[in-house]
């Protein structure tokens, strides 16, 4: 897999100047932490106390470079980056070469571990922030899976009014995270609830339930999962090559049965537990990266259950991983062979990619779109300007995709 050469840090150079006066701690800091700080020109100043360390470096988001911090007389190391791309970036310190988290940052599950993250504000943009509108809840919901013989946790967004409109039933969007992330990703890094709250309040999206399940499932008794492989920090959410079947999630060799869990257990549980509209015209699925590949696999194999399909920086036919073996005629049991019938039956096929990932994962998304369009399949495409294989791309995707559902 190619490394992504992207633009989290827009220009070269790294200096040790103090943060300029207008700098503020980002919302991703733990309470009271004054560093890291971000100035109005989006430079970030990092700081770590490590009196006995020989070297301290920082690496932020899709930029692979390790930037040296400079040691002060009090044993505190400091450094300021060039302006960062807005959005959420995972980041790490390297203390004498060991990759560690910043104790000043909350930890966010991504890159197969709880990682530091920095939320770089996007000027004038608030669609993913809490506003004075009615708010839905995100519920942590446990259910037992007979297929995996394990308790599973999903998160379920219920829209504003769900508790009071006790006779109303709602359509459902199944929304999946990427590889190395988990069921917490969309509500923590993704701000799914605020995006939906704001869309619904503005009348731009229909009130809907959003179900975010854990994208990993292996058969009970399958070999234990392998140790986590840390993908390059450039590509959080990307399924490393060779990890399981195209559907993803078969960590360490045991094949993924996530499709079986979704069809046989998750959907029936959701329809029995929540006030859903349980037909295919009121059921959508989308996912990011590996979750996009899973979405195409599951929806295209079960078009009796889904009418809306979305891939965010993730595509079908293996294209989300940059492979070129996709044959639109044979893929998914030939579902694309009759384009007219497909276009009539499926209300929406939607794919998105960040402009800064088009030399990597994004290229597969574009190729997938092109192959489908060449075969006469209607595909909507959205490109997120300036963003890489990161969460701001996927927040924007959701903000564009959700309004098109259940129309």
Residues that bind its own copies (CB under 8 A): 30-34, 48-54, 95-101, 103-107, 109, 112-114, 130, 132, 135, 137-144, 151, 156, 163, 166, 182, 187, 193, 216, 224-228, 230, 251-252, 273-274
Q: For its own copies, give the closer residue by CB, 213 or 357.
A: 213
- Report the distance separating Cα 132 and Cα 394, nearest Å: 23
Q: How far apart are CA 406 and CA 263, in angstroms?
A: 20
d(CA 226, CA 47): 34
Among residues 109 and 306, whose Cβ is nearest to its own copies?
Answer: 109
In whole angstroms, the minimum distance from the beta carbon of 66 to its own copies comes to: 13
Q: Which of 139, 378 has the CB closer to its own copies?
A: 139
CB of 158 to its own copies, least distance (A): 8
Answer whether 194's CB lies under 8 Å from 93's CB. no
Helix H or strand E encompassing 118: strand 113-120
Tell me whether residue 19 or residue 309 sits nearer to its own copies (CB atom).
Answer: 19
Q: C-beta of 287: minimal distance to its own copies in Å?
A: 18
Pick the closer one to its own copies by CB: 136 or 364.
136
* Count, residues in the chain: 407
- From the CB of residue 76, how many other CB atoms can be counted at a distance below 10 Å? 16
Exposure letters 224-241 (e unless 16+ CB within 10 A, then b):
eeeeeeebebbbbbbbbe
Q: How far is the CB of 74 from its own copies (least distance, A)?
A: 14
Name the minimum Å distance from CB 332 to its own copies: 28
Q: How far apart are CA 66 and CA 48, in angstroms?
A: 15
**CB of residue 127 to its own copies, shortest distance in Å:** 15
Structure letter (DSSP) for residue 173: E
H helices of 83-146, in order, are none
Q: Which is nearer to its own copies, 109 or 336 (CB)?
A: 109
Q: Pick from 36, 8, 9: which is nearest to 23 by CA?
A: 36
CB 190 within 8 A of CB 247: no
Minimum distance of its own copies from residue 198's CB (angstroms): 12
Instruction: Give the integer Cα–Cα distance in Å for 172 and 208.
Output: 6
Residue given tokens 């060991």 in the structure block: 98
Nearer to its own copies, 12 or 98 (CB): 98
**Shortest separation between residue 217's beta carbon and its own copies, angstroms:** 12
Residue 161, phi-psi category: left (phi > 0), alpha (psi -120 to 50), beta (remainder): left
Helix-, strand-, coil-residue percentages of the chain, each rounded to 5: 25, 30, 50
User: CB-wise, 146 or 345, nearer to its own copies?
Assistant: 146
């Amino acid at each position: 897999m190619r490394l992504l050469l992207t633009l989290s840090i827009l220009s070269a150079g790294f200096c040790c100047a103090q943060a300029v006066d207008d700098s503020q701690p980002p919302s991703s800091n733990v309470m009271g932490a004054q560093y890291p700080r971000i100035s109005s020109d989006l430079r970030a100043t990092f700081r770590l106390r490590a009196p006995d360390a020989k070297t301290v470096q920082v690496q932020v988001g899709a930029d692979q470079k390790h930037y040296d911090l400079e040691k002060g007389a009090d044993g505190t190391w400091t450094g300021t980056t060039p302006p960062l791309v807005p959005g959420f970036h995972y980041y790490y310190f390297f203390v004498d070469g060991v990759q560690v988290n910043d104790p000043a940052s909350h930890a966010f599950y991504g890159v197969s571990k709880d990682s530091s993250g920095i939320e770089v504000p996007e000027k004038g943009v608030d669609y993913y922030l809490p506003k004075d509108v009615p708010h839905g809840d995100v519920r942590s919901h446990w259910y037992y899976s007979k297929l995996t013989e394990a308790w599973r946790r999903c998160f379920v967004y219920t829209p504003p009014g769900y508790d009071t409109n006790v006779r109303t039933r709602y359509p459902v969007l199944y929304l999946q995270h990427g590889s190395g992330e988990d069921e917490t990703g969309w509500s923590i890094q993704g701000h799914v609830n605020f995006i939906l709250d704001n869309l619904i309040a503005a009348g731009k999206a229909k009130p809907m339930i959003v179900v975010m399940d854990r994208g990993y499932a292996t058969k009970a008794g399958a070999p234990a999962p392998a140790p986590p492989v840390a993908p390059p920090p450039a590509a959080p959410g990307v399924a490393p090559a060779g990890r399981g079947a195209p559907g993803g999630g078969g960590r360490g060799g045991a094949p993924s049965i996530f499709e079986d869990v979704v069809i046989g257990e998750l959907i029936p549980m959701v329809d029995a537990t929540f006030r859903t509209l349980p037909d295919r015209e009121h059921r959508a699925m989308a996912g990011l990266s590996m979750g996009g590949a899973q979405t195409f696999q599951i929806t295209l194999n079960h078009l009796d259950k889904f009418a809306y399909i979305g891939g965010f920086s993730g595509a079908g036919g293996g294209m989300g991983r940059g492979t070129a073996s996709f044959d639109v005629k044979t893929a998914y049991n030939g579902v694309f062979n009759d384009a007219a019938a497909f276009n009539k039956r499926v209300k929406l096929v939607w794919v998105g990619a960040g402009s800064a990932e088009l030399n990597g994962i994004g290229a597969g998304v574009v190729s997938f779109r092109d192959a489908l369009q060449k075969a006469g399949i209607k595909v909507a495409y959205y490109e997120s300007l300036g963003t890489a294989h990161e969460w701001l791309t996927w927040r924007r995707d959701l903000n564009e995709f959700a309004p098109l559902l259940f129309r």
